[in-house]
Every structure is written in structure tokens, then in C-alpha cells.
Amino acid sequence: MRRLALLLAVALAAAIPLAAPPAQASTPVVQATAPPMGWNSWNRFGCNIDENLIRATADAIAAKGLDTAGYRYVNIDDCWMAPTRDAQGRLQADPNRFPSGIAALAAYVHNKGLKLGIYSSAGTATCQGLPASLDHEAVDAQSWASWGVDLLKYDNCNNQGRPAIERYRAMGDALKATGRPILYSLCNWGLDSPWVFGPNVGGTMWRTTGDISDSWGSMTGILDQQHGLEPFARKGGFNDPDMLEVGNGGMTTTEYTAHFSLWALLNAPLLLGNDLRSVNDTNLAIVKNADVVAVDQDWGGSQGRRVRDDGDTEVWAKPMSDGSAAVVLFNRGAATATVTTSAAEVGLGGSSGYSLKNLWTGATSTSTGTVSGSVASHGVVMYRVTRSGTTLAAPAAGTYQVGDMSWLASTNGWGPAERNRSNKEQAAGDGTTLTVNGTTYAKGVGVHANSSVHLWLGRACPLFTAQVGIDDEVADAKAGVRFQVYGDGKLLAYTDVKTASQGPTTLTVPTAGYATLELFAGDGHGGIDYDHGDWGAATVTCTSAGTGTYASDLAWSSSSNGWGAAERDQSNGETATGDGVVQVVGAVSHVKGIGAHAGSDVALPVGGCQRFTAVVGIDGEATSAAASAVFSVVADGVTLWTSPVLRAGAAAAVDVGVAGRSTLHLVLTDAGDGNAYDHGDWAGARLSC
């Protein structure tokens, strides 16, 4: 027996995973596929709330058809609780404002087909000085669950300086432990990068800024802070630029229309903040515009973002899941202005014609590529743009230097994006040899943030590669560029913010089946000054046109994994399904892919497909010297490709033909030293079929 126990102990020790136990709450407490919609008491009523207001608001939501428009959550903000806990240490409702109690209110709201939200703070008191939940997480979560609460907004006041991730994780774990689905809304005011830790503590949404107020300056100030956060939103995890002010009286109808349009474009949670008992028809019509709400609710693969910034006028765009694009032309200036972009700039391009629907007037029109509108001061024109013509021919098979290809369109922060030389800021051709920390590139693109280069792939090019970084022509600490690669407007992969004098990062991005590719270089910090970015040796490899499918979107024929489950579109968190984080391979974050742990075999049906493309490596979450693995691609018993032993930080590209094969096995083995720490990603894994 002792021998057996010893053997077992040795066997277990050999398979010990990461030293720290994986966090419990890394999946959202509630899986929401679209940004939450509803109402919250704070913006209009502050502490002036009671159960009659909440009931009357629920009545109004139902009576005015806001429920069928999608608004479901009725959220009580701060000031619902009594000034002291009860004898058992439980929060209790304020007996004057909520004499019937929260459970009765939840029942009332549920009876209308709506959901009830509540509020607390990850501190010793709420922002208004009432009892809050730090160190009372379990008992408070239990109270809310027993009352039938459906959402928690969790604020950050009076936090005692304790680390945010721990405070927010404690509540995420407590909510999960109740067994009731309670959507978890983090109100961390953009501090400590909630967009990074939010998904790991069970959050469905996280505040990106301080509080909104009912003014043009506040609304546009918050909008400005959204630029650059788009890589961190995902289906089921939404950036929250704070609640809506539509109808509160501090902005004009034109401004409220802009506010609502832009929030919808950002895939923001849509939480009304006005008095719904007395909302007028104009404001009701804004928030009930079904075409605009549909833009908000559609996770087309990327949060919307600013694609053009011409000072007073801007263009914001997002992909829709049907292949169209939503576009907001925005005019901050004092006079009416014509705002113009192109189909290519909004992620389309390559078609002889487009149809446009104006989402505020309902008017439809056609275009050969220009997307333009006369936009009132402080207003928007919002379109949905769809390809309707014949598309360009695909590039012939071969590998192309992006610096030598023709581009659909390009925008650049200073001067033009330069072919095969650095940006140097002014006239075309004023740059020198592309150089990143001493490494030179004869070919590539030299840009200045914010910059986009749009290419036509014609669904025929399965692989994009480049070496990216800040060009040596700038050394200033303000230089900071994040490189982001988009296919058909959807974010595929992104780097950390690259700064001056750092070595280049290799970008390897599977792109099978995408019609267009966008190379986006965004300001990473400190404004766009000094942001000279190089896409060194940027190439696309084209084969033949086909449909692209992610391995992580297929039904797998079988799968096994060394620890926990093989994960879809996240790394292997080792325990429960869905407990991983964004896959990072070779210092590049990949939105799609399979996250495995050595001792893994994922089988994919590949009948009818031509190629399999991925970038593989040890996930950035495993930094130990013991992390090492070998990746093999095996088809119908034949090994098509095997990686060298890959250790932490290293990555390899795989691009193999699979024509005539029926089942592909993605096999991950330890490299002979046991499987401890062997978190291996098949990042971006994609089939061309």
C-alpha cells in the first residue's frame, strides 16, 4: 500500500500544474452574449429612490415597449440599504425607502418579465457612506441570491487600498457560489485596468472611466477614453463607458442621438438613466431605434472603434456578423460639416458597389465606395454599409510584400504610410530604412499612429506575417504603439504597446477566408507624438480562394487534454472548462485558437479543406523553465508537421496542406520532462476550406 501511495504521489507530482492554484471565477458569473440593456436609478435620481419609483419604472418599461426593444434590467443603484446591518450581519433594505423589502420588489419586477439589479461597493462603505461588501462577500451575495436579484453593480469606493483584483474576485467567487445567475458589473472607474482583470474575476462588463454626467463635455470626454480599449472587449465581456444620459435634459436631441449612436457602436451596455415615467416621445424614439440597438447587440467580432480622426470630425466603425459594417460619422464642430470615409476604411472595400442604410432616417442609397454625410454640429449620421457589387479578383498564389502590394486604402497620423521605408512624418518618401532596435528591413510599411493599411486578400491568403516595433528614428519615451491586425473588420491579433528601443515582435496571423486585412497601428500611450511604427517584412501568403473556419469554432470529433479541458479561444486554465485567459503566444495576443495542456489531442473534421494554419507556442501564462512542449499535426495517421521543442516565449508557425484528409489531430506532448507548466496554444488555428 505504501509503495502504491508513493507511486501515486510521484505520478501526481510529475503532473503538477502551475504553482498558484487557478482562480475560481475566471468565467463570467453570467454568460451574456450581448451587452446588457436596461435602466439604472443613479444618473437621474441619485439617492432619491424608493420602491415606488422602481415599481413605476418597471411599469413604464413594459407599458412603453422598452422591454420588447431589449431593455430588461431594472437596477437600483446606491442608497437602497439601511445604515446598519442586521443582527446576523446581513445587509437590509432601508425601511423607509423600501419597506416591502427587495425580495418583494424582485418578485414585482420578475412578474413583468424584467430583471432586478442591485448595487454595492468593494469597500467598507458605498460611495454614499452606506454599508458595503468588502469582507462580507459571501453573506451579501447570499442575501441577493435569496431575494431573487439578477445583477450586481459593484463599485470601488472606500476600498482600503486593497488590490482590486482580489476584492473583485472575492465577490465574483461569492456570486458563483450562490448558484444563482447574477450578472456581475464591475464599477472600477477604469482604475487598475478592469478590462484586463475583469474577465478573470467573473465580470460581464467593466467600467472604463469615471462617472458620466449629463453634458456634451462629459459624454465626449468619456468617448475619447474608449479609443485604444477595443482589443479588450469580447463576446460576453464588455467595456462599459458608463450609463446613458439620454432624456435627462442637459444635452440637445442632436447630442443625445450622437451619444446613443456612439454607445451602440461601442457595444456598450445600454442602461437608460432617465425618468421613464415621464420620458417624452423624442427621447423614447432615440432609445427604441431598433436598427441602432441591433448594432449594439451584435457582436460582430470586434467592438466598434475610431477609424478616422480629423479633429472636429471623426469616423467610428464596427463589423456586423452578417458581413456589413456599422458606421458613425461624428461632428464635434460648431457648424454643419461633410464627413467622409470609404467602404475600405470601415473594413469593407473590394466591391464595385455598396448599399447604405441611414439608421436614423431609414433612407437607403448606393455608393461605389465613398461613405459620406452632411452632419449637424454635435450630431451623427449613422449608416449600415453592405457590399452589393462585384468583388475584385483574388491575388494570384504567391507570397507578397505588403510594401509592394496595391492597398485598398490607408490612413496615417503624420504624412502618408510609407512603402519600404520609415515614416519620418512629412512628405511621401522622406523616410529611411525600416529599423527596429538595430534590425533593418528592406521591405515593409513605415507608419505613424493612428494608422491603418487596408489590403484585399480576396479570401485567398491564409497567412500574414510581420516584424513590428517602433522605428529607431524615434527614441522618446512617449513613443508607444499597439499593433492590431483585423480581418474583415474583426480583431484577430494584437501586440502589447511597443516602445522605443525594444526588439521587434513577430506577428504571425492566420487569415484564411478573409476578404480584407487591416494593419492598424494605434497610439499606445501619451498621445500619437513619436509613434513611428514599422511593419517590417510584412507579407501575405496567398494560395487559392476558400472559406475560412476557426478550429475553435468547429465541433471536434474528440478531444483529450493533460489538465482540465482543451479550451476554445482562451488559454488552458487547468481546471474547469472556460477558466483560461486570452491566448498569448510569442508576446502576441490572439483572439481565436485552442488552448491546450500537454497530453492533449484535439481531432477536427477537415474533409473538403485545403490548408491548416496556426501559430503555436507555450502560452504567456506559463513562464517556468520547465514549460516545454512539442506540437504535431497528424492527419489520418500521417504526421504532417512537428515543431521543435518550444519553451516559454518561443513560437512557431504551421501552414500545411490538408487536401484529401478527413481528420486532423492537433497533438501536444511534453518534451520529455513531464507535462508540468506545459500550456500550449494553437493560436489563431484556422482552416481554409
Residues that bind ligand GLA (CB under 6 A): 42, 77-78, 126-128, 155, 187, 189, 211
Q: Which residues pair with 602 in a beta bridge?
A: 559, 666
Residue nearest to ligand GLA (CB): 127
Contact 475, 490 (CB under 8 A): no
Contact 423, 412 (CB under 8 A): yes
Shortest distance, position 64 Cβ to ligand GLA, whole Å: 24
* C-alpha cell at position 585: 503566444
Q: Which residues contact 221 (CB under 8 A, 6 or more apart)?
A: none
What is the crossing angle of helices 290-297 and 253-265, to 10°?
Answer: 30
Q: Which of 531, 513, 324 is CA-nearest to residue 412?
A: 531
10 Å Cβ neighbour count for 146?
14
Q: Which of 677, 601, 660 is CA-nearest to residue 633?
A: 601
Question: What gap in Å lies between CA 689 and CA 544, rounded to an integer?
Answer: 10
Q: Which residues pair with 365 in a beta bridge?
A: 356
Contact 681, 594 (CB under 8 A): yes
Question: What gap in Å lies between CA 201 and CA 573, rounded to an integer?
Answer: 13
Q: Between residues 154 and 407, which has the closer beta carbon with respect to ligand GLA?
A: 154
Q: Between residues 140 and 155, which has the closer beta carbon with respect to ligand GLA?
A: 155
Q: Are strands 205-207 and 183-186 parallel, antiparallel or unpaired?
A: parallel
Question: What gap in Å lies between CA 9 and CA 11, rounded to an integer?
Answer: 5
Q: Between residues 126 and 204, which has the closer beta carbon with respect to ligand GLA?
A: 126
Shortest distance, position 77 Cβ to ligand GLA, whole Å: 5
Q: Which CA distances in Å does 468 have to 209, 444, 510, 537?
A: 30, 10, 16, 9
The burial class, CB within 10 Å (0-12 / 13-18 / 19+), for 364 is exposed
Q: Which residues contact 571 (CB under 8 A, 6 or more apart)?
A: 580, 581, 582, 583, 584, 595, 619, 621, 679, 681
Shortest distance, position 54 Cβ to ligand GLA, whole Å: 15
Question: What gap in Å lies between CA 31 and CA 299, rounded to an integer?
Answer: 14
Shortest distance, position 170 Cβ to ligand GLA, whole Å: 19
Where would I find the H helices in 298-437? Answer: none
Q: Between residues 74 and 507, which has the closer beta carbon with respect to ligand GLA?
A: 74
Shortest distance, position 69 Cβ to ligand GLA, whole Å: 23
Q: Which of 581, 679, 580, 586 is CA-nearest to residue 626?
A: 679
Question: What gap in Å lies between CA 426 and CA 597, rounded to an integer?
Answer: 49
Q: Which CA distances in Å does 560 have to 480, 557, 596, 598, 629?
A: 41, 11, 9, 10, 16
Q: Which residue has the cell 492537433?
A: 666
> What is the secondary structure of 524-556 as a DSSP string?
-SS-STT-EEEEEEEEEEE-----EEEGGGSPP
* C-alpha cell at position 399: 507570397
3-state secondary structure of 295: helix
Q: Which residue has the cell 471536434?
A: 556
Contact 616, 651 (CB under 8 A): yes
Where would I find the H helices in 118-202? Answer: 137-147, 164-178, 194-197
Q: Which of 25, 20, 18 is CA-nearest to residue 197?
A: 25
Shortest distance, position 126 Cβ to ligand GLA, whole Å: 6
Shortest distance, position 120 Cβ to ligand GLA, whole Å: 10
Contact 458, 548 (CB under 8 A): no
Residue type for position 171: M
10 Å Cβ neighbour count for 213?
15
Rg of the chain in Å (alpha carbons)? 26
Shortest distance, position 74 Cβ to ligand GLA, whole Å: 15
Q: How far is CA 22 from the centre of its chain?
A: 22
Shortest distance, position 542 Cβ to ligand GLA, whole Å: 49
Shortest distance, position 268 Cβ to ligand GLA, whole Å: 14
Shortest distance, position 372 Cβ to ligand GLA, whole Å: 37
Shortest distance, position 155 Cβ to ligand GLA, whole Å: 5
Q: Which residues pair with 467 in a beta bridge?
A: 506, 536
Contact 612, 682 (CB under 8 A): no
Q: Between residues 82 and 107, which has the closer beta carbon with respect to ligand GLA?
A: 82
| Active-site residue set | 155, 211
Question: What gap in Å lies between CA 262 and CA 304, rounded to an integer?
Answer: 9
Shortest distance, position 293 Cβ to ligand GLA, whole Å: 22
